Chains A and B, each alone.
Chain A
Amino acid sequence: MKIKNNKVTWQENSAKNITFIVTKDCQLACKYCYLVGKNEKERMSFDVAKAAIDYILDRENEKNFDTESVIWDFIGGEPFLEIDLIDKVCDYIKQEMYSRNHHWFNSYRFSFSTNGINYDSEKVQKFIKKNKSHLSIAITIDGTKRKHDLNRIWKGDGSGPERGSYDDVVRNIPLWQSQFPGVGTKVTISSADIPYICESVLHLYDLGIHQVNINCVFEKVWKEGDDKLFEEQLMMLADTIIDRDLYIENSCSFFSEDLGKPLDCKLQNHNWCGAGKMLAIDAQGNFYPCTRFAQYSLRDKEAWIIGNIHDGIDNNKLRPFLTLDRCTQSTPECADCEVAEGCAWCQGENYDAAKTHTVFERATAICLMHKARVRANNYYWNKLYRKLELEGTREEFENQKPKSNDIIC
């Protein structure tokens, strides 16, 4: 029996993640999009990107930049709207890493999260062919048509009816899967999506997407009773995955064995999110600890700018991020929580929701949802193990235990 593993992403621990916010524009206006300040004007120029690259590559041996590998990430808005710029920037990165004999030349990746709408365009396809061996591309598709179209709608002027984008994306899935076989997709769940979770995950499996990374938004959007509905959906999903043997070929990040145990404040005290270890750059050439700290992602707080391409990084502004640990930012309830393992947070949302100017106040809007997930997850593993036991395949399964791969932001 071959069991599908939740793959650990490429060079996950040893790679520096550098994100270019190339545009704040997008063809869609997804209802859950956390980007409160999207607009059509702020597009990155090549000169800004070049200055950032020079700054970064000049610091090959500095602590911030001495990781084994690098992921050059391009996001938006919709990054492929700026494919000409991206192509030029990627060429420059390759040239510079090569001519400087930079150690990253042996270990780099260009990474994209796209809405998939212009995936098949000539320019995007040309870019893919040129860089294929160094590319990760994730297309976001939320599940069934009705679920996807509930949130992922075309931008309109408000006069006509809402138009969903499912058909415009799904037609590109076969091409994407043929070019990047086995690559997963990322699904984000908000309150209104809960009734569609089970059908959506199954639909994605049907489309040939075998790895579904799914998570609840961290914002305070949950209504009373959502946790119960959520639990029901996950139980339904668990039953279907197990009864139809779907766990053999597929994975869903909602079910993970590393979930729902208490955590120790000394031995298991690491921070969840990589803000501060990553670096994001916007069109003005400002640096951020992560894109979620740029003004267009923040509701209530000022942007957390840690420097810019002219003056460099002010390391003082990074110190809070690089000293963060789990228990310091947690309430006593979270520190002592019986099911804390796998309960995630987003540092940007923590900052945005905090009472004061700090990244040390953990937002817990997700609390009941996590507890519901833990219950369903326990059910899943108990049921699956019993089945495997009866089939005599448990040992084989345990030997190939899937690793967890919670992609949370």
Chain B
Amino acid sequence: MSEFAIDVHGLRKEFGGKIAVENVDLQLPKGEVWGFLGPNGSGKTTTIRMLSGLLSPTAGTGTALGYDILTESEEIKARMGYMTQKFSFWTDLTVRENLEFVARLHLIDDVASVVSATIRTLDLQDRQDQLAGTLSGGWQQRLALAAVTMHGPDLLLLDEPTSGVDPLARRDFWDQIHRMTEERNMTALVSTHYMDEAERCDQVVYMSRGRLVAKGTVAEMIANSGLVTFRADGPGVRKLMAALKRASGVEHVAYFGAALHVSGTDRSLIERTIGELRSQNIEWREVVPNLEDAFIALTQKAGVAGERSA
């Protein structure tokens, strides 16, 4: 049996001839939590759907929990929890009824007490008889998370599980994920657009235009991006934005409060540009690029590469 919870090669998905995901290789070790990042439309949801057996890949093979994703999806479904990006529980059932339905399908014995325990741990007691459709967005996300973890899955595939969830609930959520991975050697792949969540993961993969373009720990991702970032502070610094965007060596400029972050991969080019723009009341200093800078650089690089090959 493979030591990987997910082990897929060359996954590809076309929708009517249009390629959504291409050449995806992914080996996710058991017991780890991986972040899945990438801009809108890059193919994260499509990839997760292929891993869960919801979409059949146009090409590629692989296993999830040791079962073939093409032929043994029933086995995978029984041992997996998949949280959809869009809320997809039954809006005309109450919180409790939704959980009971899921518990019964998973053949959980003693449905009532398991559901009650789940409701307690997720702090849903006051809302258990409310129709799921009338819950606020954040509570819907919590219901969904409760429903997909109730049967004690070995693998969690979570598609933007914390979008719209408040910071406290997000922290609870991540604590819970890590607890489950430690207690039961569960594996999780979590797609997110939040950089702080990426930093909570053992590793992250980054998808762009249907391809996995980077993989590693957050520190590795930043280091591998080869990015140098300078921060400009001072009165009137924002007026430099337009000039900086056109300047050579500058790949990305971003507002950071009253300051600007200027990033590029060619150190000498960017230092020359800064030298030309230097004036007395603006202070320039080099900073460690953050994950967001690294990802934006990755996205732009992939964009250029994509255009070149097209």
- Same assembly: no
